[in-house]
Amino acid sequence: MTATLSNSAINTGQSVADALFSYQDAIDQTLARGSDLLRRMSEGRGEVRISALETQPVMSKIVESLADVNDARIHIVAAQKGICGMGSRLGLEGRQWGDGTCPPVRVTPTE
């Protein structure tokens, strides 16, 4: 981090990082909940002895919705790379992890 970075810039960068990761977490939670719904439908079908022919159209819709949510996840991960690039150009360097994207990093401004 450069010494010329203002508290406002650091706070804004952290706010953006927090919002980004909160949004990603919401998408991940949605994927998990949709998967749980699919699991419960599958288990319930067996318990009440409903034909797979009858439940297939409904389960296919759930799978399609999961694919759509996954597409949203792909887009926000791509946006994360752009946000990290902007932060780096502004001097808000983050640690690298995974595929090289920046996690939220709490930075203490220098006086």
Q: Do the domain assignments include residue 51?
A: yes
In a domain, 99, yes or no: no
Is the pLDDT higher at 108 or at 93? 93
pLDDT in tens, 39-89: 999 999 999 999 999 999 999 999 999 999 999 999 999 898 888 888 777
User: pLDDT tens across 14-48, in order?
Assistant: 888 889 999 999 999 999 999 999 999 999 999 99
The answer to whether residue 111 sits within a structural domain is no
* Domain span including residue 30: 7-89
Mean pLDDT, the chain, whole residue set: 82
> Are the CB atoms for 81 and 73 separated by under 8 Å?
no
Domain count, the chain: 1
In a domain, 108, yes or no: no
Is there a domain that residue 96 lies in? no
Residue 14: partners with Cβ closer than 8 Å, 6 or more residues away: 104, 105, 106, 107
| pLDDT reported for residue 1 | 44
Residue 103 lies in a domain: no
Quick check: is 1 in a domain? no
Residue 63 located in a structural domain:
yes
